[in-house]
Chains A and B, each alone.
Chain A
Amino acid sequence: DIQLTQSPPSLSASVGDRVTITCRASQSINKYLNWFQQKPGRAPNLLIYAASSLQTGVPSRFSGSGTGTDFTLTISGLQPEDFATYYCQQSYGMPRTFGQGTKVEVK
């Protein structure tokens, strides 16, 4: 299985901050990396697909980058509705796998 390691596991930030979350794959996955946002009691919501493509309807303050084994999700100008848990997920190999999540909390 392809392991995905996210860092940090949690972070504290303020509205307006720039937030960066990283995801490292245990082997090269090209650009087959997706990012999800999840709020309590809700299903994950796709933000970024193919490492850097913004899903329709997702605010442009979200961006993704990376290829191979190292990937980044950036939130430029954190908004109140962005406090949530973020997951990376790979669609390169079977089984599909997810990172353990990064919880973005209010500072």
Chain B
Amino acid sequence: QVQLQESGPGLVKPSETLSLTCTVSGISISSHYWGWIRQSAGRGLEWIGRTSTSGNTYYNPSLKSRVTLSLDTSRNQFSLNLNSVTAADTAVYYCATEWQFWGQGTLVTVSS
């Protein structure tokens, strides 16, 4: 049974870095593409980017200057770092493959 689970702080201060980890079980992270999607009332579903062990990493140009995705094959995890956050980055963040398997989502609020 494939499971994805997001973890990380639920509250981040403005201008700081949002860091989330997705722990994958039931499937090797060495296969598939691994990505992040966020959802807010104002922006709907927004694709953040994807990565894979092949080295092909793509970011949404709207976030490219602030986002980094990485993989840890030894832990079967992948991570999202989004720096210089503002209130506009408040959203539910999902990790997912393309597109069968998703995590349950984690709410991140940007506030002082």
A positions within 8 Å CB-CB of B? 1, 34, 36, 42-46, 49, 55, 87, 89, 91, 94-98, 100-101
Contact = CB atoms under 8 A, between A and B. Distances in A.
B63 to A, nearest CB: 9
Interface of B: 35, 44-47, 49-50, 58-62, 94, 96, 98-100, 102-105
Nearest to A97: B47
A87 B102 CA distance: 15
Contact of A43 (B35, B62, B103): B103
A5 to B, nearest CB: 12
14 contacts: A1-B61, A34-B99, A42-B104, A43-B96, A44-B45, A44-B94, A46-B99, A46-B100, A89-B99, A95-B49, A95-B62, A96-B98, A98-B45, A100-B44
Contacts, number: 44
B104 A43 contact: yes
B interface SS class: strand
Contacts of B102: 43-45
A98 B60 CA distance: 13
A33 to B, nearest CB: 11
Contacts of A55: 100
Contact of B61 (A42, A87, A95): A95
Contacts of B99: 34, 36, 46, 49, 89, 91
